Amino acid sequence: MHWLIAGAIAGVAAYLTDWLMWGKLFTKGMDDFFSGTPEEAQANMGPALAQSAVLALVFGVVLAFTYQRVAGTLWVERGGPLAGMEFGTVLWLPTVALATVGGGVWFDKARPLFRAQFWTWLVRLNVAGLVLGFLM
């Protein structure tokens, strides 16, 4: 499958994963990070979801392009779902994991937000990598 199509599908999978994690799992304690009324939150929901969808598609396409370029250097040699998950985890560890752990050291009030981002990025990258591994 062409990497653009695989990237778009991986972006949709990442978007749905992101929606599930932030909409259903990480809800307790997140009200402290919103300064507004529930009506304002409802009014901002549509544009925020649209922006998130566009960013997820761009994320999926860039991830697919990068995966296509480095697939031959992964430990899992023949590709497939495990190679995609390896790729996602290798990207996550030096960038997101260290940034969220390091930022959580300095910002005590935002530590729950950093912890949530730590796990959502790991899951998001592994889901997108899994989809790319299946499709490419």
Express each pLDDT in 22-78 by its tens digit: 878 777 766 666 767 778 777 888 888 899 999 999 999 999 999 999 988 888 888
For residue 47, the model assigns a pLDDT of 87
Which one-letter DSSP state was computed for residue 23?
A: I
Average pLDDT of the chain is 86
3-state secondary structure of 2: coil
| Confidence (pLDDT) at 71 | 87
Greater model confidence, 101 or 15: 15
Greatest mean pLDDT among 19-23, 79-83, 131-135 lies in 131-135
pLDDT of 87 reads: 92
Under a CB-based contact definition with an 8 Å cutoff, are residues 99 and 42 in contact?
no
- Among 48, 67, 77, 73, smallest CA distance to 126 is for 67
Across 68-77, 99-108, 127-136, the highest mean pLDDT is recorded for 127-136
